[in-house]
Amino acid sequence: MRVTVIPSDRWIRRDEDAANLSEWPFDDANIHAIQWYGEDGEVELTGKPKPPNEIINDTSILEPYLAALDQRLLELQQLQQEQELAAAE
């Protein structure tokens, strides 16, 4: 699984699925990005001077982001189905 989270853009990507979130309930103002490469990853922090990236070895930091991505993808799928039904009428 490959994951990228970019808080400033409210953007989350997991493998081929990606979405922008209209609401961003996360307390991550000090994070530029989170990268997960399959077995490990890194948290890219913000600041001046820029602090070193934090290495991560488990997906626990990703879980709330992935749950939000799943919810947003479901919402988008439902919206698409509604639009298709409306167009068919």
Q: What residues of the chain score a pLDDT lower than 70?
A: none
* Burial bucket for residue 65 (CB in 10 Å: 0-12, 13-18, 19+): buried
What mean pLDDT, rounded, does the chain reach? 95
pLDDT of residue 86: 87
DSSP class of 15: T
Does this model's pTM top 0.85? My answer is yes
Res 88: pLDDT: 83
